[in-house]
Amino acid sequence: MKLNLKSGASLAVILAMSLGLAACAEKTDGGPTEAAAPTAAEAIAFVADAEKRAVELGDFAGKAFWVQANFVTVDTTGIAAYADQLTTAMAMEFAKDAARFNGIDVPADVRRKLELMKGGITIPAPNDKVKAKELADIKANLDSTYASGEYCREDGTCMSDREIIKTMATSRDPEELKEVWAGWRKVSVPMRGDYERMVELANEGARELGFADTGALWRGGYDMPADDFVVETERLWQQVKPLYDSLQCHVKARLGDYYGARNMPEDGKIPAHLLGNVWAQQWGNIYDLVADGDADAGYDLTQVLVEGGYDAMQVAKTGEQFFTSIGLDPLPETFWERSLITKPRDRKVQCHASAWDMSTTDVRIKMCTEVTADDFRTMHHELGHIFYYTSYKDQPISFRSGAHDGFHEAIGDAVALSTTPNYLVELGLLNEEPDASKDLGLLLDQALDKVAFMPFSLVVDKWRWGVFSGDIKPADYNKAWWDLREEYQGIVAPVERSEADFDPGAKYHIPGNTPYTRYFLAHILQFQFYKSACAEAGFEGALHRCSFYGNKQVGAKLKAMLAMGQSKPWPDALEAFTGTRQMDGTAMLEYFAPLKTWLDEQNKGRSCGW
């Protein structure tokens, strides 16, 4: 059900190719200086050489990271650390050299490539080779610590992350949930020292590039000043916050009915272990506890898939079929030959689902696929990345990325929104659509996934921005994490936490150093994309009932946007598909409007807020 195995583009290749973040960032006075007055001709030659070198190293680095993710051992971790050291050094070299050409009059495409190179690294290494190697080792160790993590009880039985996820999803015993919740967080305790040192080293590297800190570098990747981006994310959050508040109030009340007052605090917050997810980021697994009789979804997608005889490969093939039905090209045979679609029985792998852009002719996914509703939708999400890769493959290497990272996450989810009951009828999985009376159940099911996720997707990077800036001191890492989660989500840790813990590290994207605001933006954009696609398809009716499966007109317009890659500022790409240049949460509000009305009715007489 809602396990959130979502990931972005291949981090290895993004690093190797110096992509990902634009450079409209806050700068300090200590930026790179010019040794001599460079020329436009030198800038053009530099970009051409950098792109050539990025392709060559990217091929090796992609394979090194792929092997490490699929064969988690001491040796592959060492190889990955070495590849990371090389790619980070190259990206840092490109970033610093690109800064030499500030103020030089060059063609527009060259200027954009230079700006992308200046901000095109997630965790920048210092120029010192010893420190750069130390940083690479720390990053690889953090990643492997998470990948090999498990919770072992006193009786010697151990639970992997997948087993913990399932327990949190299905158990209704509050004491077992509390034990498993706390047990998983023991995995991250050893990360704390490494993480603190990594922040010091990354900030040193960021300052060498002219950024105030690593968080400022991240926020500079959106074709606007870093401070403006903070304002923009808060504006979008305030648009959708009333919907979240209504959902939180209803869920809190229904959990109180089920678990009793003794398991619920009186301050309006929800204990994190009761929300069906080990991170309390998505709540769909407790649908049965919070849905009233008039909120019946009408079918169980997991059951429908199992009864339909689906296996992991059929889930993947069905996902591909959606994209080809709207006119996108089929995936290359190498995708099916080289992807990891089911979990091997003979080795440790990173099961966190991810899409990989190894080269223009080699795209893959890594996913321990199970035949569940969640993995059915996750497959559509990951294939959204893959079809984005194949659509912009003819762009220069510097532009082979999403318009911004939120675009990359949103494409597949916009398609997943279109996996409506009507779509399931088209596939032969349902005989007929459930009638409109079942819509509330479907909307509640989705809101427990998508709406509940919104504040969490802000908190992860708000915490890291504070850590990188120094506003959050190492002595307050855990306290600040829970302060933010209480403020934005209205949830509370179920057991006492202290600075002996490192709860942020129990979430993959923290030790994996994957910026997370992309997921917040993606949840805004996916509804914008979906609404625009439905309008292009001529759909009339309640937005949540639309499916654009099989509509070639939508596909042509979508492919035109995808093919732009990162060659233009993201408002240009957004306008190409939606007709507007501003991200906007109102499409999400329209989608869930019937549910909001229902929630507000349910909440009458309840004490809402926290």
519 belongs to the catalytic site: yes
Report yes or no: 583 and 528 within 8 Å, Cβ to Cβ.
yes
Instruction: Work out the angle at residue 182's Cα, subtended by the Cα atoms of residues 181 and 184, and round it to the nearest 5 degrees.
Output: 70
Number of domains in the chain: 1
The verdict on residue 14 lying in a domain is: no
409 belongs to the catalytic site: yes
CA dist., res. 191 & res. 193, Å (int):
6
Catalytic residue among 132, 291, 295, 353: 353
310 belongs to the catalytic site: no
The verdict on residue 376 lying in a domain is: yes
Report yes or no: 543 and 591 within 8 Å, Cβ to Cβ.
yes
Catalytic residue among 204, 370, 382, 536: 382
Catalytic residue among 408, 509, 523, 544: 509
Catalytic residue among 25, 95, 316, 352: 352
The verdict on residue 425 lying in a domain is: yes
pLDDT in tens, 562-588: 999 999 999 999 999 999 999 999 999
pLDDT in tens, 313-362: 999 999 999 999 999 999 999 999 999 999 888 888 878 889 999 988 89
CA dist., res. 319 & res. 5, Å (int):
16
Asked whether the predicted pLDDT for residue 15 surpasses 90, the reply is no
Catalytic residue among 385, 408, 523, 544: 385
385 belongs to the catalytic site: yes
- Structure confidence at residue 5 as a pLDDT band (50, 70, 90): very low
The verdict on residue 314 lying in a domain is: yes
Sheet strands (E) in 60-108: none
What is the model's pLDDT at position 4? 30
The verdict on residue 355 lying in a domain is: yes
The verdict on residue 116 lying in a domain is: no
Least confident of 66-70, 559-563, 573-577: 66-70
Percent of the chain with pLDDT over 90: 72
- Hey, which residues does 340 pair with through a beta bridge? 366
Asked whether the predicted pLDDT for residue 24 surpasses 80, the reply is no
The verdict on residue 403 lying in a domain is: yes
- Structure confidence at residue 224 as a pLDDT band (50, 70, 90): very high
3-state secondary structure 58-98: HHHHHHHHHHHHHCCCHHHHHHHHHHHHHHHHHHHHHHHHH
Catalytic residue among 381, 404, 523, 544: 381
Asked whether the predicted pLDDT for residue 96 surpasses 90, the reply is no
The verdict on residue 482 lying in a domain is: no
- Structure confidence at residue 294 as a pLDDT band (50, 70, 90): low
Q: Containing domain of residue 429, as a range?
A: 299-433+516-579
In terms of Cα–Cα distance, which of 314, 401, 416 is closest to 355?
Answer: 401
259 belongs to the catalytic site: no
408 belongs to the catalytic site: no
Catalytic residue among 115, 208, 370, 409: 409
